[in-house]
Structures are given as C-alpha cells and as structure tokens.
Amino acid sequence: MTDTPFIRTVLAAWLLGLVGACTNPAGNGATLSIVNATLIDGTGAPPRAQVTVVIADGRIVNIRSGERRIARARGAWVDATGKFLIPGLCDAHAHLVTREGFLPLCIANGVTSVRDTGNRLDKLRAWRADIEAGRLLGPRLIFCGPIVDGPHSVVGDLALTVSTAEEGRRSVRDMQRNGADFIKVYNFLSPEAFRAIADEAQRAGVPMAGHVPISTSAGEAAEAGQSCIEHLSGVLLACSSDEDRLRAAIVREIEASEYSPLVTNRLLFSAPPIDLVDTYSPDRAAVLFQRFVELGTRHVPTLVVLRNIADQETGRIQADARLRYLPARIRDDWRRPRFAGRSVDEIIACQAVYRKHMELVGQMHRAGVAILAGTDTPNWVLPGFGLHEELELLVEAGLTPMEALRSATALPAEFLRRPDLGTIAVGQLADMVLLDADPLADIRNTQTIRAVIVRGQFLDRDQLDALLAEAERAAGATQSARR
C-alpha cells in the first residue's frame, strides 16, 4: 500500500482516537463516541446495527444510526464495529461486604448498579458519597441498611428488631431519616408489626421489600404493599393446597429449636419440606400470580443462590478458582459447608424444591409477573460474576435472552424509580457495557465484556483486568493479615 499524506492523516486520527477512548472519561465537556456498535437499548426493541452513541459529562447526548466514518468522529472515540452495546447491569439483590474487593468485581463484570439488601447504613452512605464524588470507582448504590425483623432474628446485628406495631412504624421513620432507599422486612415479623411497617412505608412513600414473614402468606404480603419479594420466599408455600398445616409445622419446628439459625435456614432454604412440592396446586398458583400482576409485585428469585444451596455437597462451589477474589473469611465459610450434615432425604428435598422454583419462575413470567435479576452475593455467589450466572438460569427457567437482559437493566431501574438508568437513550446516564458477542443469540455472551462505561468513564479490557487483579490483591492481603 502506498504511503500517502491522506493515509498518514487517517492513521494518526485512528491512533489518537483509540488512545483517547481508553483514557478520556468524557467529562468536563469532553465527548466520547462509541462508533458502529449494534445497539441493544434495554427497551425490548430489536437490535439496531451501525449505531453511534455519544457521551458527554456522564450522560448520553446523541445517538445516530447508520455507518459513520470513524475518522470523522469528534473527540475521543471507540471503534465498536462487530460489537454489541447494552445498558449497564444491575444486581437487584446483593450484600456488599468490602469496598476493595466487591466494588471492583462489580465493575469488571459490567454491574454498574447494585441494590444492597442488608448492610450497615453508615458504611454504604460513605461509599456512595465517595463514588458519586469520583473518589472511588464503583457501581451506583441503592440500599436499605439494616433488615427489619422480629425477635429471634437469625441475622444478628444486621437486624433492627421490632416486637410491636408502634416499634414497626418507628423503624420505618428512623430508617428513612437515616437515608434508607427502601425498607427490607424479614422472617419473624408478627402480622401486626408487618402490617404496621407496610402502612407506614406507604404513608412515607418508601418501597417495602424482603422476605415474606413466616407468619404471613405471600398473597397477604403483596396485598399489604410489599412491592418486591426476595428468593421466592413464601411463594411455593402459598401455592400449596395444605398451606396452613405446612406453615404451622415449620413454625413449630423453628420454635422447638429455640429459633436456631441452622434450623431456620434449613427449613426455609436448605431443606424445606418436600410436601411443598407434593401439595403444589396449579389453581392456587394461577390465582396468586394474577394477584401479583394486578398489584405490581416484583420478584427477585435469586435462582443462583438457591441452586448453590441445593448442590452444596457436590464441592463445585468450593473448587471454583474464582474464590481467589474473595476475602479469606468468606472463602473459609464457603469451604466449610453451612449445611453440613444434611441427610440424603434433606438434600433430595432441597433439590426438588429448587427444580420447582425454576418451574415457578417460568410460570410467573408467563403470567406477567415482573422478574428482576439478583444474586444474594456473597452467600455462595461470587460478586459480579454471579449476575451472569443468574441470567443463564433465568433463560433456563423460560425467559428469552432479551427478557433476561431486561431483568437486569430496564426492569430494576423502573422498580428503583430511576428512569435515568436501565436503557440507552438520549439524556440517560452513561452506564453501558460493550460486548464482543451477541447476548440475544446466547445469554452467556454477556460475559464477553470488551469494555464498561460507568458514569461516562470508558474502561477497556486491560483496565477491567486490572480491577480483577486489584480484587485478588485485596483478598490476598486479608489472607496474609489472618496468618
């Protein structure tokens, strides 16, 4: 090829643009163009080829269709030919333990928003302030702070325990005053306290989410105003033709154990009664699911944690090489199975209930119930990575790849009352993920991450790998400190 001034000019523009795209955050008035991408905008619309998305000051300022000459793009630019641009992902159920490990793992996996469902408010408020001020790289944080539970809570100092209706109302006011974005309810709330919390939350305009208390039916929880149910808690029980007897039996066994955390978790998650499957009523399920639709009750099934609990005895989790990214105390906990000693019958029951939960998700989705993607990390689920596993399971349960993708983008943004997130459109906040392969052809392609754009900052593959290395170093430092 002949070396001409024109060719040298185009080559120089290409090199300068590539360098600029990798280093320029497109802030302070600078622009960044993602050129010639296939756009999957999160709205459910078909993909659009040869699209250029322009970012300035952390927002999307222009979207152009049709092929453009790369050398003519203004400011910094990235050649996204053959690549796929999707909205940043949201983990709608997580517990962020450490900033040094968990936040880098989220960003490296394209998780640009996290709904934290139980943590210390002071810690999360400080993290959010640092992230929003640009002092810390991390996802956008939405959080509840402590969990609101009744006496005998099994989550220790993560719970704000209430015994009466008035204490329940006060807890809502206190949490709202301290900066909680929503209220999370839990297993042992009395019916009176639960209804009071729901009523006070509605008065205050604060969403209420969480587990369905064992004293309350899932349908009753939705009627009371619980806007989101986590882990499908109480749903299979509410679909049983023998719901009242089974609820009473579970309560009796928990009370007889003096509210042992091991027994409580076994009955609710790790080895629930097989009767839940045997007494399943399609007619009761249809009525319940229709009520969820009418009331707008969302569900975060966290199938990945339910699967990992069901097959914990296989050793698959403990052998995962990615455990090197986790702090030592979490690795130690994973390698010491929480439910050690389950009988064969209990393991079989847990696996049967998990398979039934997979069926439920498909049935609920077909009925029109809104499903959101969440993981329950770090409970036997890796931060960041686990959300991609959840998307795979949602597709296996019956969602299409497009529907699964929306469960981690547009739908959580809508639920979280963040209309500026979850889709790619002019005016939206610039949180996006650039993929090497089409996630609509295979949902596992959400893992083919070439770059992440968070708050308008472009992070290429090398920078994402550096974040993974940072998390691994932080995990190693905690291990050394324990020796």
C-beta of residue 397 within 8 angstroms of C-beta of residue 373: no
Alpha carbon distance 377, 359 (integer Å): 23
Task: Please give the span between the terminal C-alpha atoms of the chain, in angstroms, as a whole number.
Answer: 61
- Beta-sheet strand order (sheet of 183-185): 159-161, 147-149, 183-185, 208-210, 226-230, 298-300
Domain 90-415: homologous superfamily in CATH:
Metal-dependent hydrolases (3.20.20.140)
pLDDT confidence of residue 262: 86
For the record, the structure tokens of 270 come out as 């790790």
Alpha carbon distance 127, 141 (integer Å): 8
For residue 433, the cross-strand partners are 86, 452
Which distant-in-sequence residues (6+ apart) come within 8 Å of 58 by Cβ?
26, 27, 429, 430, 455, 456
Our measurement of the distance from residue 47's CA atom to the centroid of its chain's CA atoms, rounded to an integer in Å, reads: 24
C-beta of residue 45 within 8 angstroms of C-beta of residue 416: no
Residues of the chain with CATH 2.30.40.10: 5-87+427-475
pLDDT confidence of residue 313: 84
C-beta of residue 308 within 8 angstroms of C-beta of residue 380: yes
Residues of the chain with CATH 3.20.20.140: 90-415
283-306 pLDDT tens trace: 999 999 999 999 999 999 999 999
pLDDT confidence of residue 18: 39
221: part of which helix (H) or strand (E)?
A: helix 218-224
pLDDT confidence of residue 266: 87
Neighbours of 282 (CB within 10 A): 9
pTM of the model: 0.92
Cα dist from 332 to 309, 329, 335, 452, 479, whole Å: 16, 5, 5, 31, 10
C-beta of residue 38 within 8 angstroms of C-beta of residue 438: yes
Q: DSSP label at 46?
A: P
Alpha carbon distance 402, 407 (integer Å): 9
Of 227, 228, 233, give the one whose Cα is nearest residue 187: 233
The architecture in CATH of the region 5-87+427-475 reads Roll (2.30)
State the sign of the Cα–Cα–Cα–Cα dihedral 102, 107, 109, 110. Answer: positive
* Blockwise average pLDDT, block size 10, the chain, 483 residues: 37 36 45 96 98 96 78 75 98 95 96 97 96 97 97 92 97 95 97 98 96 97 98 97 96 94 88 92 98 98 95 87 92 75 87 96 98 96 98 98 98 96 98 98 98 97 97 77 45
Coil, strand or helix at 242: coil
- Sequence letter at residue 334: W
Q: DSSP label at 213?
A: P
For residue 37, the cross-strand partners are 51
Alpha carbon distance 254, 271 (integer Å): 13
Alpha carbon distance 421, 413 (integer Å): 6
